[in-house]
Chain A
Amino acid sequence: MRAAAAENPLREGLERLPVHPTTLVIFGATGDLCNRKLLPAIYNLAHEGQLPERFSLIGTSRAELTDAQFRDQFAQSVRAFSRREPDKKVLKALLENVRYVSGAFDDADVYAQIAQALADCDEVAGQALNRCFYLSTAPAFFPVIVGRLGEARLVRDPHAEIRIVIEKPFGTTLAEATDLNSKVLSVFNESQVFRIDHYLGKETVQNVLAFRFANSLFEPVWNRNAIDSVQITAAEDLGIGTRAGYYDGAGALRDLVQNHMMQLLCLIAMEPPVHFNATEIRDEKVKVLRSIHTPQVQDIASMAVHARYTKGTVSGEDVPGYLQEQGVPSKSKTETFAALRLEVDNWRWAGVPFYLRTGKRLARKVTEITITLKPVPHLAFVQDGTVGVRPNQLVLTLQPNEGVSLSLGAKIPGTRMGIRPVNMEFLYGTAFMSQSPEAYERLILDAMRGDATLFTRNDEIEQQWRIIDPIIASWKRARSKVPQYEAGSQGPEAANEILLPGHSWRAI
């Protein structure tokens, strides 16, 4: 009989799977990330009926607020930043389940208050609710909060699952990341830890997996025999805006390459998992990272380039250089452009260069992965008077206009056998009606559900830093000036120096 089975027979056929009743505790509840992303995401989950049936939220922060004031702030955030006009009734019902605890993160009394608030939520619900601690604070507080949660005995409960969500950056060097991992894992088990890289919550990034593993067309050529090179570009036309404080301490390599672009590289290079679950996906990604050699000091100049934008013109507007941006120290050595050549030294990819490139104030905003196939071995066609036969390129565009295009050689109409490249294009926006949820909506729900597939594991983080650390250290040691590129350009000329012969950067 179905009802006696271990599985819940009522779940079958439902698109939205049940999420266990949960209390979400947000540390840094008055911060920018919480206001702009987390609270609107939680509202949208409520609007769509996706929150757990019993849900409470406890915000905590240093700011002295009453429950009512925090609820007001919550409502204002939703009105300002939600992707949809809020439904008053839903918002009102949601806010009734919101409370606030104020105090410093190193104050043991705060945790006693949180424990009491959690117990109250359980009492109202008549059951032990799962607990999800979300650390949306400055990274310096991560070890403090984790330690205090442990001391307050809030990390284990025989009747409920307890999880912790940690925002990036997860360290700024390998040593810091290892140290933080060790502190977190001295209190929580790895299975309780959800390290956010919101990039993985984007539909467009998950589509890379669907593209690779739901289509048999590409697998036969997805290796060193057919692929000449892979380029991953994350270009922005914007500058640093108001983020000088954060950005000048991070730079392009830490801001985008160490986490987001490494994730894309892993998704492109990983072996097919047997099952689409957290352990297997993350195992395969870690294998890719382990296949990338630690850059040696003597090799860094030939495989990594950094640069900084100077004043220029973007979209017809004159823009200042990085050093002239508000809040940037005049002696800053921070890079706003980084390009790397990496090799994934395994059976599938040995000898195929993976080029990674990111920068601010480039010619346009685009995130794409370009896979260039090897040229045909013999060409029987005359190429005079045409641009000629080019290697096929498969381009996965993540933004804007997410899609896939494949360049093919086609005959130019006429009496001669002239060939030129044409594009076969597919645009996701034309084929799906759905509006993609915000990355944070998906990730908050997954964390409450306990699905870690789209979160980064400790060994993954450490492997990323192992690759990035020597490059940062080398750039830091360099006495020469940071190379420059004009705002609105394709990036520095020096980026070409890391390309292997016959390769060129795809135009941004």
Chain B
Amino acid sequence: MTAAAIDKVWRGTDTNPGEIAQSLAGLLSEVHRENPQYVPARVINLICVVDKQWSGEIANRLRGVGRYHGSRTIVCSVTPGRKTLDAVATITAPAEVERGELGLLRETVVVQCGEKHLDHLDSIVDPLVVTDLASCVWSPHGHPDAVDSLLDLAQVVLTDSTDYPDVRAAITRNRELAKRSYIVDLAWLRSTPWRERLATTFDPPRLRAELPNLCDIRIRHAPESEIAGLLLAGWLASRLDWRVKPLKYENGALTGSAKAHAHDVAIRLEVDESLKVRGLAGFALKTTTGREFGLARGDGGLRASSRNGDDRERHWTVFGASRGEPGILGEGIRQALLREQTYGPALHRAEIMLPTVAP
């Protein structure tokens, strides 16, 4: 199959959802008639609510997700003051399909709407989604009213806690959404390799026994990714049953402690100004038995270090390629079809750790 693609396009002005749905069905039939090897993908509906002025940037991000894209993507592009609906439906097919292979179709509907439509956006989107497929809402420019209106229709909300103006707003909103929907938080997904490595480090039985001995955690994060540090600390606290309490801002860092079974665990979250991408920069852990573990970003993977009681320090690379931001969004869409149960408890502990006083 070549990378080139064939688009079938339908455009409607002052239209309605019924007409859009009918036109899309017509386009699908037309494409399939032309080549029976073309078949529509049937994985997930992705509903995006975006501000029209930033819709180009969102389109770029969606183009970069690779294979993990919505099989039908419905983009509600919001223009202040707009009263009517315009729409463009596009079916993209691979230009060439090898003999015996399938040509998977991608369906995109862009609906131009106004703020007045957002309270009842479900009535516009409902006729456009593929019935019986999971639906995922992503609203990167806010519009909580639109998201709320879609919660009965969609099973998953894709969010990025780093997009919120502050960590409290992010955690509060996500806790609220989690009561009605499954949340996929891109800030959480960025920490997956770090969590995997922590789990791996402590997987051998002799090191697993050290988990209850953790007594000091220091997490470094990108300037606007405090939430990433809080979520990682919240995850450790929830998995290891630490009792947590609010942290405090002190000398530019967020510090405090948690209560483990037999001792206190010092927690420190600090900004790494040198990190230019979202997420974590590294962490360092200590145990009461004198062991130390560290992980930081490096070339070709994460750079790990350890120091045992004998004071010998070791460094090594944990292999793995960076997925980059488009990869993270694609991973978010993929995760919308899974159900991960540790985010909720981590978010809850992170909420308790929120500082009561602003920096």
Contact = CB atoms under 8 A, between A and B. Distances in A.
B319 A55 contact: yes
B201 interface: yes
A12 interface: yes
Given A1-B212, A365-B100, A46 B319 contact: yes
B196 A12 contact: no
Contact of B203 (A11, A15, A92): A11
B308 interface: yes
Chain B contact patch, size range: 35 or more
Nearest to A7: B208
Contact of B43 (A1, A16, A47, A431): A431
Most chain A CB inside 10 Å of its own CB: which residue of B195, B196, B201: B196
Interface stretch (A208-216, A224-232, A251-259, A432-440): A432-440
13 contacts: A1-B241, A9-B240, A10-B211, A14-B192, A18-B199, A18-B200, A21-B204, A52-B200, A53-B318, A125-B314, A127-B204, A400-B100, A433-B69
Contacts of A430: 39-43, 71, 102, 104
A2 B104 contact: no
Interface stretch (B146-154, B298-306, B349-357): B298-306
Interface residues of A, number: 51
B342 A13 contact: yes
Interface in B190-236: 192-193, 195-204, 208, 211-212
B319 A90 contact: yes
B319 A126 contact: no
Given A18-B199, A126-B312, A401-B101, A9 B321 contact: no
Interface in A40-72: 46-49, 51-55
Interface of B: 39-44, 67-69, 71, 99-102, 104, 192-193, 195-204, 208, 211-212, 239-241, 260-261, 299-301, 304, 306, 308, 312, 314, 316-321, 333-334, 338, 340-343
A420 interface: no
Contacts of A47: 319-321
A10 B195 contact: yes
A54 B304 CA distance: 10
Interface string A27-48: 0000000000000000000111
Given A87-B321, A430-B41, A434-B334, 8 more contacts: A1-B261, A4-B212, A12-B239, A12-B341, A49-B319, A49-B321, A89-B299, A430-B40
A433 B68 contact: yes
Given A54-B316, A126-B312, A10 B102 contact: no
Interface string A402-438: 0000000000000000000000000101111111000
Contacts of B308: 126
Interface of A: 1-4, 8-16, 18-21, 46-49, 51-55, 87, 89-94, 96, 124-127, 315, 364-365, 400-401, 427, 429-435
A488 to B, nearest CB: 14
A8 B208 contact: yes
Contacts of A3: 211-212, 239-241, 260-261
Contacts of B41: 430-431, 433
Contact of B202 (A10, A20, A401, A434): A10
A260 to B, nearest CB: 20
Contact of A53 (B201, B211, B239, B299): B201
Contacts of B69: 433
Contacts of A400: 100-101
Contacts of B104: 429-430
B300 A401 contact: no
Given A8-B203, A10-B202, A430-B41, A49 B261 contact: no
**Residue with the highest number of chain A CB atoms closer than 10 Å, among B198, B203, B261:** B203
B312 to A, nearest CB: 7
Contacts of B306: 126
Contacts of A93: 299-301, 317, 319
A431 B101 contact: no
> What 6 A-B pairs have minimum CB-CB distances, sorted nearest first?
A49-B320, A93-B300, A13-B342, A89-B300, A10-B199, A46-B319
B102 A8 contact: no
Contacts of A19: 200
Given A93-B299, A94-B300, A94-B319, A432 B43 contact: yes
Nearest to B343: A13
B239 A9 contact: yes
B20 to A, nearest CB: 22
